[in-house]
Each structure stands twice: as structure tokens, then as C-alpha cells.
A and B are shown apart, each in its own frame.
Chain A
Amino acid sequence: MLARNVLRTARASRFSTAPGRFASSLVFLEQKGGKLNDQALTAVTAAKAVGGDIAGIVIGSSADVAKAVEEAKGIEGLSKIYSSASDAYANNVAENVAPLLAKVIPDKLISHLFGAHTAAAKNIFPRLAGLLEVSQISDITAVKGEDTFQRPIYAGNAILTLKSSDKDKYKIITVRGTAFDKAKKEGGSAAVEEVAATDASSPTKFVSEEIVVSSRPDLASAAKVVSGGRALKSQENFEKVLDPLADALGAAVGASRAAVDAGYADNSLQVGQTGKVVAPELYIAIGISGAIQHLAGMKDSKLIVAINKDADAPIFQVADVGLVADLFDAVPELVKELGGK
């Protein structure tokens, strides 16, 4: 409290936020191989909605940090980029990264930490919240005030508005990417400040990763998504039926949990409460019944199209355009109509 009061006195005149209130936000600018994760730009937008001063932080191995900082400097709305490099920070190992954030946040008088609700933040942020003994506010969809936020609960079937109390000295927040626009990557000119790396003595070691390589757009940010469910019946069908349609539309491919569990699609393609949340311009659900866990991941899409044999499938209750048909006939026909192969 003392630190924040001092800060308020020192800087209150510089900002035009509501009188008597002050926020100083830090945005976790997730990077991989020196490239920023675009989702972090949505966390910048959420931080802007809180108001006050906003800094970013880039953490990783030396080579990656050098590259990512160059990219981060240009982000509009950031006054400063903190950077910290250590081999222990490569691959976002939470045991090493969380203590660094736990040091930076009090040292730099940060009140709010924002990050996109990605696998990396979902791993690092709770550990950090534990280290700082504060709550975590996960997957927010709206900022209603400096300490008031909205987030979906019960698989998106209810919207909770919550107010954080003074007991939580630091607000640790992850942001639902599809609910906020991305901040611009140009126009900013943030100063860069290096932060000394913290001790990393955890026994946890990164061994390897296996990333599904695809020529298609990234599922989480694609403008169009074609998703398949259990009705595709096999992995071979999944690819044979969905790939030409995805190619014809320039869409990403998604899947229901049933399709992933049956081994038709890789689990990184899963859309839903426990997978990715998407909100594209166009979402085509093919052979997906529309369980609430799946709807949680796609019902904010602008236009939902459903192709399903079962006229009573729940997916038709949310679909803007529904076609009751056998997908094995309808999808190839659709591809043909779209001028694909």
C-alpha cells in the first residue's frame, strides 16, 4: 500500500485517469523464438481500458529477447519495455519465469498484470499468483473499471461481473483474445529497460516439443474456421472432407472433443471449453452436434453455419444458417460451388 501511495503522489499529475485512482499495468508479451505472440496485443488493449501507465515485459533466452524487444518497442500505448534474458527462461518454463514476474511487479510498482489467456500464461500466471498470494482473474471478456471485470463461467453459459478488493494488492489477469481488438504494432516508441534475471534453480527441464505444422491460418486468430466432429468417422475422412473446404475458404481447421478423442484430429485443434476459444467471421460446424462444451468455444463467431444429418442437433439452435444433410454429400458439393477442387 505504501508503495502505491508514494507512486500516486509522485505521478498523479501526469495522468488523467479518474481522480484519486491510479493504475500501472504490465503486459506479459509472450514470445516464441523471438517472435511475439499476436494474442499479447489483445492484452495491451485490455490494459488500455484500465487506464494509467502501461509497460510490457519480454522474457526469454538472450537471442529471442533481443529480437522480440525490437518488435515490442513499436506497440502503440506502451511507455516502457522491460526485458530479461536467461537460458532458464527459454520455452516459458513457469518455475523460472514466475519468480521473475513476482520480483518485477512489486519492484516496478505494478498494480495490474495482463496476459493473453494462452497455454503459457495459464501455466505461469497461477504460479505467480501463488507466489504473490493474490487471486487470479482468468479469461476476462470486458473491463468495467480499474478493479471490475467480466468473465464467462460455466462454459460461457453465464457472465460474471466481479470486483477485486484491496486485499489483492496486485491484479493478475488473463484476457480472452477474441473479446479485445489487437493493439497496433506500429507507432509506439517505448524505452527499453533490462531487468536482471532471477535465480532459476528449479529441477524442471524442458526436453522437447512437438508442434503441429500447418500451412493454414492459426486457429485462435483465423477469420474463418471449418470444424469437424465425430460424424466424420475417421481421420482419413476428416482430412479428405474438411481440407478441401478449408483450402477453398482459406480457413483454419478445428475439431470437436469427440473428433479429437476418437483420434480423427490432433488435440491442438480442439475448439471448446477445454480447448481453444475462437470468434471468427465464419464458423462452419460439420458433423458436430453442439454440446455446451463445444458451444463455449465458438458461440461468439459472427456467422455460424451448421451441416448436420440430425435436424434436432442443438447446433441448429445457434447456427445462423443450417443445412440438414449428409456431410459426405454436402461438403464436396459446397467445395465445388466455392470453386475449389
Chain B
Amino acid sequence: MFATRPARANILVPVKRAIDYAVKIRIAKDGKGVDTNVKYSMNPFDEIAMEEAVRMKEKDKDHKITAITVGPAKAIDTLRTALAMGADNAIHVQVGDNDIVEPLAVAQIIKKIAERDGNDLIIAGKQAIDDDTGATGGMLAGLLNWPQAQFASKLEVSKDGAVKVIREIDGGLETLETKLPLVVTTDLRLNEPRYPSLPNIMKAKKKKSEAIKPADLGVDITPRLETISVENPPERQGGGKVESVQELVAKLKEAGVI
């Protein structure tokens, strides 16, 4: 059956609008979240996912790439970035500005879309740098009962749908062989994402974006986890500087670590 699989992969790339990685976050006054009046950008692992999909398409024009985001109105900016990087079209699953959509709900939404649109390859980031949960991709693979290739640092998809992937594991690397349909999650070293060029940003404005609500897909996004509080971590005080290596050694001895 795999010999007859068309060369074309119908790729879905979930992207998340997250607080920019370089922003030093502040705890919100109500102690239930962080100050959101800051710069946002596409989650870095999702940029890598987008880049990988685009590189696949550059090798074989028959592939189709859809970017999808679950987020508030402003998340459209993240989709525009994805389109400017090379996605063919985009899906915006719209939620309210204050809605928290947990990984399970996101995975349930993406599952419905993948089934609706006949996607056979989902490339997601390994974790979002805001909630740091790292669960959406794996949950999605479980929900769809597809194989998974998590923390990928090298991905090769053959024309017949066979996949070879190198994964980052504790202590080194692991090589797996699997098949489409597949969920891949990206690790940092999979590739270096491109910056969208100005002409591509202009072209992206003409690309199609579909807007849909979770309820249209029959997905309940009510959180299952209640936020009790968000606090600052215990603060570390720098202990000051020493002038010489001898002084440094004396401090280490004083602390009893040597």
C-alpha cells in the first residue's frame, strides 16, 4: 500500500503565539499569570517546524503546507509569519483574549482538523517556551494513534512515505524508522529557521486564511487545570566578585565544595 502512496505530503504545522524568548517576564498584579503587555513572536520550536516543512517543499513542490494556530485575534500575526516563511494557507482557531487553551484541547482541535483535511504529516515544536509543558505533539500522536518522532534533529521522508529520523535523547542520539502518517516534534538542531523576506511578507497577504472556532469542531476548551497562583521564583543574590584565582579558591574552600 505504501508503494502507491502519492509523493505529495499534506503537512500541518501547528504554531503558537508566545511571549518573545528574549523578554524578561513579570508576574501580573493579580498573581494569576504574567504581564502580557510585552512583545510576542512565534514560539522558536515552531519556527523550526515551519522551516522543516518549507525545506521539504523546496525539495518537492508537490507537498502542501498548512499552518494552524489556536489563539486570540492577535495570533493572526503568527500565522502571517508562517505564511511569509512559506506555508500555502493558514487556519486560525479563534479563542478569546483571556482563554487559556491547554495542550490537550489544542491536540484535540488539531486532531479534528487533520482528520478533516487529510493531513498525513504534522510537524510541531517540542515545547512552547511559555508553559514549557512539552505535551501537545505527543498527545496528538496518541489521539490520532499515529507514530511519533519526538525531539527530531534530522528528518528524512521518502517518496513512499517511509521516514528515517534522528532523535535527541538523554546521553546522545537515537535513530528510528517509521512511516507516514506521522507526528514529528522538532528539537533545536533540526535546522536554522529563515527570516521571511519582504517580498514574501507581501505575497503572504494574498494567501488564504480560514477562521474557525473550537466549538465548530466540537472541542470543549474548558481548562482542566486551575491556576492557583503564579509567583516569582526565589531570588538569587549575586555574591559579588573576587579579584584573583587565589581568592576564588579561598571562597570554594570556605563553602566546603573543595
Contact = CB atoms under 8 A, between A and B. Distances in A.
B230 A126 contact: no
Contacts of A211: 171-172
Contact of A125 (B108, B138, B255): B138
A307 B247 CA distance: 13
Contacts of A123: 138, 148, 150-151
Interface string A121-132: 011111111110
Interface of B (DSSP majority class): mixed
B254 to A, nearest CB: 10
B202 interface: no
B5 to A, nearest CB: 13
B131 to A, nearest CB: 6
Residue among A120, A152, A274, A318 with max Cβ neighbours from chain B (10 Å): A274
A154 B132 contact: yes
Interface residues of A, number: 92
Contacts of A98: 142
A154 B34 contact: yes
B239 interface: yes
A262 to B, nearest CB: 12
Contacts of B248: 305, 307, 321, 323, 334
Given A122-B134, A123-B138, A209-B174, A274 B225 contact: no
Interface of A: 91, 93-95, 98, 118-120, 122-131, 133-139, 148, 151-165, 167-168, 202-212, 220, 224, 249, 257, 260-261, 266-268, 273-274, 276, 281-282, 292-293, 299, 302-305, 307, 311, 316-325, 330, 333-334, 337-338
27 contacts: A91-B174, A124-B138, A126-B137, A127-B142, A130-B104, A130-B143, A133-B108, A135-B104, A136-B135, A151-B132, A153-B131, A167-B224, A202-B178, A204-B149, A204-B176, A204-B178, A207-B164, A210-B174, A273-B129, A282-B258, A303-B255, A319-B238, A319-B239, A321-B239, A321-B240, A322-B238, A323-B241
